[in-house]
Each structure stands twice: as C-alpha cells, then as structure tokens.
Amino acid sequence: MTIASLIPNALINLLSEIEELGFSLCLIGGAPRDYFLNKTLSHDLDFEIRNLDASVLRTFFKNKKINYTELPYQITRVDFEGFDLEFSTPRIERQIAGNKTHHHFEAELNPRLSYQEAFKRRDFTLNTIGVELDIKNKTEAVVDPYGGLQDLNARLLREVSDDFFLDSVRFLRLIRFSIKYDLKISDSIMSRLSEFDLSALSKHHFIEEMMKSKSPGIFINTFNEMTEACKLNIPSDMKIWKGLHFRPDVKSKDDLLVSAFLEKEESAKLVASFFSMPEKRLKDLKSFYDSFMIIKSASQDDFKKLVKLPFNEISEPGLLKELKNLEEKKEWQKYFQDQLLVSPSSWESIVVESAELESAPVKMRSYLRFYKALQKSFLA
C-alpha cells in the first residue's frame, strides 16, 4: 500500500493536472507522519510545490473556478472534496532579532530549494518526513533528510535544529504532541527547555494547541510542571493556571470551568475570562450548583412535608424553585453525579393537564410539574 493509493480519484486527478503544469509535489508534515504511524490518510494535506512560482498555481485554480485562499508566505489553501489542501513554496526562515512572537522570522521563498534546506525550518524530525509524488508514473519516494522515520518508530520528539527554541509556540506543540500521540520528549529538548522565551506567548495559540491535544487537563498540568521546573517567564494571563490541577478526563472548556469552580469560585472567574465566556455561563453554573446542594441536603421528611400540603396552599415555591432551576440548567447535571432523592428522571414523564394548571395560583403554575413529581416519589 502507498499513500497515493489512499487518495481519492478526484483528488489524484487534480494533483495530476498540477503536476502537468510543471510542479513537483511533495506531501509533508502531518499526513506522512500519520500514514507511517497508523497507515491512515489525513484530510489535511500539505504539499511543498517546486520548480515554478506559486502564482502559476493560483492562476490554475482561478481558471478552473476553484476557490482558494491566499495565506502568508504565498501559501495557497483549497477545500476540495472534503480535503483541506495547502500548497506552499519551499522557504528558509531567518530570525528577526528581538522578535519573540510566533512570526519571529523573515521568509525567503525558493521553489528550487533542496529538501534538506527547506525542511530545516520545521519543528520535529517526525514532521520532516516527505513523500514525493509522481502521479504520472504512479510512484512515490520517501524524503527523510533528518531521520524522522527512525524517531517516529522510536516514538521520539526530537528537534530539527537549534531554531526550534526560538518559537514559543513550539513549546506548546511539544506538550500537545507528547500527549496526543503518546511520544517521549528527547533528552536534547528536555535539557534546553530553559532556552524558551514564553513572554510573548499568545492566548490564541495556547488555546489552539491545548484543544488540539485532546486532553486540556493534562495539557495544562504539563504546562505548569514544565514552566515551573525551568523557571520560565509566562504572560500574566496564563498565570491563572498556576495552583490548579486537573484530572485526565477533563476534555473541554466547560470541564475546565467546572473543575476550577469546585476548587475555588475566584479561579472559575479567571478561567471564564481567559476563554472569553459570557458572564451568564459562570452565573448559570453557580446557580445550578447552589440548587443542587440545596436539594442534596434536603431530607425525605422535607419533601414529604411539602407534598402533604395541597398545592394551592403553598405560598412560596422553596424546594420546588430549586428543582425547576435544576431542570432549566440541566446541561450542568453531568458534572454532579451524586445521588439525589429527587432528580430530573423524577419529572421527565410528569404531565400537567391544562385544567390543573388553570386552577393553580398564577405565580405557582410553573412549579406544579415538580410538585406532582414529589407526590409520585414520596406519597406513593
């Protein structure tokens, strides 16, 4: 099996036409890595195109009436038949003195650059594995100037060059790759972690890499451990994670919010702010939690005492109001699995007839469903 054999015919035909223009195509980055790791084809395909200027490719897409997006460094992105394609010209990246951001370099594009020169800008050796496609002759050749296949087989994250430590986002990618693919970090990287300057690290890239890791909880725990161990200076808005520790099953932003809330409400406010969550998000969580704790602490006698009263004689909703609040904010229920004497399953099947509703006091009508659920549970 070859990687080209996994590419659908419609895409092979498109690539064949690009090749006929005079371009050579080399698949690079995540797609070859994933193919050699598990023999699958990613739907994100990145190609380095050689021999011709990128403008020729854009003219081709324009004539074919294929929509494309121009990205920095003359990268061309195309959505085609469910695939996200990127075509880039080989380039050399030269460090801009004093620049600590992700875009810390000036790019020198060269469509005739050697693979070794072009791949040197990449982060890990396992992302420097290329597959040079020859569509016409139905052949392909592995290009591996930095020993990426060997490191992939060893499940090892190793830097391509010293430039690795110039990009703060690569610190985050290091964490993300080690978690997502269960890879070991090389001694050569571990011994030089203190060289990273994270002072200009952006929140955008932090969130992006964290969510791509598939395990935000472990990502944050690892970020805390590594930055503390190496005494790295981090932006002030990322210091909110210090002192927080998350379980491995924390997968989403809401998971992080709830975990922080259960430790300290003030921490949850900082987490909500970090993710730019609407103020109502945390407010609803707190409201659900307060109602949950009230219902959790209520006894059978409390519920029995309530339902022994005729509904029309109840002047204040009390516990009924808390039950209604649990229903209205039930999206948070999954985080609180303690057994309650009464829960959403108690009122899911309860039907309130229109005649019953009309005979109830107006201000109490919305609570009748919960009263009937309690009657069924405690007076049966």
Residues 244 and 311 in one domain: no
Pick the range with the lowest mean pLDDT from 54-63, 85-94, 338-347.
338-347
Contact 261, 267 (CB under 8 A): yes
Domains held by the chain: number: 3
pLDDT of residue 105: 66
Within a domain: residue 290? Answer: no
Which pLDDT value is given to residue 340? 87
- Asked whether residue 364 carries a pLDDT value surpassing 90, the answer given is yes
Summary mean pLDDT of the chain: 93
Find tokens 């935000």 and name the residue. Answer: 216
Q: Is the CB of residue 223 less than 8 Å from the CB of residue 175?
A: yes
Co-location of 5 and 137 in the same domain: yes
Q: According to the model, what pLDDT value does residue 93 have? A: 84
> Is residue 282 included in any domain, yes or no?
no
pLDDT tens-digit readout, 212-252: 999 999 999 999 999 999 999 999 999 999 999 999 999 99
| 358: its two tokens | 């009309």
The residue-averaged pLDDT of 128-134 equals: 97
**Residue that finishes a domain, picked among 155, 188, 223:** 155
pLDDT digits (tens, 9 = 90+) for 82-103: 999 999 999 998 877 666 666 6
**Which residues are paired to 77 by β-bridges?**
69, 86
Residues 11 and 83 in one domain: yes
Contact call for residues 302 and 319 (beta carbons, < 8 A):
yes
Tell me the backbone φ, ψ of residue 124, rounded to 5 degrees: -100, 150
Could you tell me if 134 and 258 lie in one domain? Answer: no
Single-letter amino acid, residue 134: D
Number of residues in the chain: 380
User: Rounded to whole angstroms, how far apart are CA atoms 18 and 186?
Assistant: 39
**Which residue's entry shows tokens 């922080």?**
260
- 352 and 224 within one domain: no
DSSP, collapsed to helix, strand or coil, labels residue 143 as strand
Q: What pLDDT shows up at residue 99?
A: 63
Q: For the chain, how far is it from start to end, CA to CA, in angstroms?
A: 66
Rounded to the nearest angstrom, the gap between the alpha carbon of residue 278 and the centroid of all alpha carbons in its chain is 19
The answer to whether position 304 is within a domain reads yes
Give the pLDDT score at 262: 95
* 151 and 229 assigned to the same domain: no
Q: Are residues 204 and 177 in the same domain?
A: yes
182 and 101 in a common domain: no
Q: Which domain holds residue 253?
A: 167-277
Q: Name residue 28's beta-bridge partners.
A: 46
Residue 291 maps to a domain: no
Same-domain pairing of 125 and 251: no
- % of the chain surpassing 90 pLDDT: 85
